C-alpha cells in the first residue's frame, strides 16, 4: 500500500485512517508535477493511493475503501447501525461542504499574483464556510463525535477542514466546543504518529 503524501494535504486523512486501523503502508513524497505522481494521478494532485492494482485519488473514497476492504473496524458505521446516516452525512460534508469551500481561499493565498490576493474571495469563503459549519456545531451539541458516541472516519474527514482554518486566517470561526473537539482528536495516538512522520 503506497500513499503519495504531503502532511498539508488531504493525504493526511488516509495516513490517519491507516494508523488507526494498524495497516502497513509506505509513504511516497508527493511532489506535484513529478513523473512519479503523474504516473498514478494524471491530475497531479494529492492524495494518490495505490493498493496493488487499485489506484484512487479521492481521500474520502479511500477512507471508505480502507474500512470496507480491511475492516471490520469501529471507524466505519454500517447500514444497520443507528448512526449510519450521520456517518455518511459528515463523511461527505467534511470534504464537499467544508474543505472544498476553503480550497478557493487557499489557492488565492498561495498561487494568486500579489495584486490579486485577498478581495472578494476572502469574505465569500468566510460566509460560505460559516453557513456550512452549522451542522457540525449542532451535531456537537448532541454527541461527542460526528456519528454519535464513537470516533469514526467521519471525524477524520471533518477534522481536516477544521484544521485548515488557521492557515486561511479563519481560526476565529472555531467556537470553544469546536476547539475542544479538534483538540480531542489531535490527542489520539494515531494522529500523533502521522504528525511525527511529517
Mean residue pLDDT across the chain: 96
DSSP per-residue letters across 2-48: EEEE-TTSTHHHHHHHHHHHT---EEEE--TT-HHHHHH-TT--S-E
Whether the pLDDT of residue 12 is over 90: the answer is yes
Give the predicted TM-score (pTM) of the model: 0.96
CA pair distance 57, 174, nearest whole angstrom: 29
- List, in order of start, the domains of the chain with CATH numbers: 2-74 (3.40.30.10), 84-188 (1.20.1050.10)
Whether the pLDDT of residue 101 is over 90: the answer is yes
Residue 15 · residue 47 · CB < 8 Å: no
Bridge partners for 51 per DSSP: 54
In this predicted model, what pLDDT tens digit does every residue of 61-86 receive, in sequence order?
A: 999 999 999 999 999 999 999 999 99
Whether the pLDDT of residue 32 is over 90: the answer is no
Instruction: Count, in order, helices (H) and strands (E) of the chain.
Output: 9, 4
Strands 48-51 and 2-5: antiparallel
Kindly give, in sequence order, each residue whose CB lies less than 8 Å from that of residue 67, ignoring residues fewer than 6 positions away. 17, 21, 73, 75, 76, 153
Dihedral (CA of 14, 15, 21, 25) sign = positive
Overall average pLDDT of the 32-49 stretch: 94
Q: Which long-range contacts (C-beta less than 8 Å, at least 24 apart) are formed by 83-86?
A: 83/147, 83/148, 86/139, 86/146, 86/147, 86/148, 86/154
In this predicted model, what pLDDT tens digit does every residue of 110-133 receive, in sequence order?
A: 889 999 998 899 999 999 999 999
**What is the structure's pLDDT at 30?**
87
Amino acid at each position: 500500500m503506497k500513499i503519495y503524501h504531503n502532511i498539508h494535504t488531504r493525504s493526511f486523512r488516509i495516513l490517519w485512517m491507516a494508523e488507526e486501523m494498524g495497516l502497513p503502508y509506505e509513504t511516497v513524497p508527493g511532489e506535484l508535477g513529478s513523473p512519479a505522481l503523474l504516473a498514478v494521478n494524471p491530475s497531479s494532485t494529492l492524495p494518490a493511493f495505490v493498493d496493488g492494482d487499485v489506484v484512487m485519488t479521492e481521500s474520502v473514497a479511500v477512507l471508505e475503501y480502507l474500512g470496507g476492504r480491511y475492516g471490520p473496524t469501529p471507524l466505519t458505521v454500517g447500514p444497520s447501525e443507528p448512526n449510519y446516516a450521520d456517518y455518511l452525512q459528515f463523511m461527505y460534508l467534511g470534504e464537499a461542504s467544508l474543505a472544498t469551500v476553503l480550497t478557493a481561499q487557499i489557492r488565492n493565498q498561495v498561487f494568486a499574483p500579489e495584486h490579486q490576493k485577498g478581495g472578494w474571495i476572502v469574505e465569500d469563503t468566510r460566509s460560505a464556510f460559516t453557513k456550512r459549519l452549522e451542522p457540525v456545531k449542532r451535531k456537537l451539541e448532541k454527541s461527542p463525535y460526528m456519528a454519535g458516541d464513537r470516533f469514526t472516519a467521519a471525524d477524520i474527514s471533518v477534522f481536516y477542514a477544521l484544521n485548515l482554518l488557521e492557515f486561511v486566517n479563519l481560526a476565529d470561526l472555531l467556537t470553544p466546543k469546536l476547539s475542544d473537539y479538534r483538540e480531542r482528536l489531535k490527542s489520539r495516538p494515531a494522529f500523533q504518529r502521522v504528525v511525527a512522520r511529517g
